[in-house]
Amino acid sequence: MARKPGERKSSGRGQRDLKTKVKTARGRRASSTRWLQRQLNDPYVKRAKAEGYRGRAAFKILELDDKYRFLVPGARVVDLGCAPGGWCQVAVARVNALGEKSGKAQGTVLGVDLQEVEPIAGAELHQLDFLEDGADDKVKAWLGGSADVVMSDMAASSSGHKQTDHLRIVALCEAAAEFAFDVLEEGGTFVAKVLAGGAEAELQGLLKRRFDKVANVKPPASRSDSSEKFVVATGYRPLTPAEDD
C-alpha cells in the first residue's frame, strides 16, 4: 500500500522507538546516566514541565488529594520541607489561596524549608528548621491560628545504605508527626512520605492513637521501583488535659 505524503514507515517496534536513549559520557557514572535517561523518559517529568509544576512530586499530592480530599477551599496548610515548591503550587490552587474561585472560602498555604525557596504566588514561604524550639509557635503565628493540614514530602539525605536511609526517613516522619500534633486543628490531616522497610510500626501506632483513620498509600506518580509510600492520617484528635499529663 502506498504511503501518504509525509507518512513515516512503521518500524514494527511500537513505542520503544520513542524513548530517549542517553549514552554514558566519559567521567559520568553509569548510575547517573540511568537516572538521566529515566528523567528524560518519565511522563510525569514531562507533564510537570508542560503544566508549570516545579517537579514531578506535584502529581503525588494531587493524586493523594483526589482520593482523600483534604486540600479544600479555605483550608490552612503547612508544607514542611517545601522545596522546590511543587506541593505548595498544588495546595495554592486547591485551597483557593489566591481567592480566584468565586464563592469559595480562601485558604492559606505556608511553606517552610531549611533553604530559601523561590517565591510562589499565593504561598507564604519561610526559611525555618521545624525541629528548632518554638518553631510550632512561629508557624501558628504566621498562620494566625492552627493548621487544617500538615504535609511533608521530606526525605533524609541518602547514605547509600537502604536500611539506614529507611530508619532516617521514619525518624524524620515521626518528628514531622510530633510537629503536626502541636499545630493541627481538631479533625485535621497529616500527610507524609516514608520508605517501606519494616521500622514503621511505631510510627503507625503513634498516628493511630491520634487520628481517626490512618492509610498507607502508593500513588500512581510514585515510581514502581521506589520503596516510598505515603501515610495519610485524617481526623486528628488532640490529647485531653488528662492524657497530656
Provide the domain count of the chain.
2
Please indicate, yes or no, whether residues 198 and 122 belong to a single structural domain of this protein. yes
Q: Domain check: are 113 and 136 in the same one?
A: yes
Q: For residue range 44-102, what is the model confidence (pLDDT) as tens digits?
A: 888 989 999 999 999 999 999 999 999 999 999 999 999 999 999 999 999 999 999 99
Same domain? 40 vs 139:
no
In a domain, 7, yes or no: no
Per-residue confidence (pLDDT) for residue 243, from 0 to 100: 67
43 and 68 co-located in one domain: no
Whole-angstrom distance, CA of residue 92 vs CA of residue 78: 11
Do 164 and 191 reside in the same domain of the chain?
Answer: yes
The answer to whether residues 33 and 71 belong to one domain is no
- Whose cell is 486540600? That residue is 71
- Average pLDDT of the chain is 85
Q: Please tell me the predicted confidence (pLDDT) of residue 226.
A: 83
Q: Which amino acid is at 156?
A: A
CA gyration radius, the chain: 21
Which positions are annotated as active-site residues?
A: 193
Q: Are residues 41 and 119 in the same domain?
A: no
Range of the domain at 75: 54-244
For residues 59 and 25, membership in a common domain is answered with no
Q: What is the spatial distance between Cα 78 and Cα 139, in angstroms, rounded to a whole number?
A: 8
User: Does residue 8 lie in a domain region?
Assistant: no
Residues 107 and 47 placed together within one structural domain of the fold = no
Question: What is the domain-level CATH number for residue 134?
Answer: 3.40.50.150
Q: What is the model's pLDDT at position 167?
A: 85
Same domain for 183 and 159, yes or no, is yes
- What's the CA gap between 130 and 238, in Å, rounded? 20
- Same structural domain, 185 and 200: yes
Instruction: Write out the H or E segment, with its range, that includes residue 125.
Output: strand 123-127
Residue 2 has pLDDT above 60, yes or no: no
Residues of each annotated binding site for S-adenosyl-L-methionine: 85, 87, 113, 129, 153
pLDDT of residue 103: 95
Q: Residues marked as binding? A: 85, 87, 113, 129, 153
In angstroms, the CA 74 to CA 165 distance is 36
pTM (global) more than 0.85: no
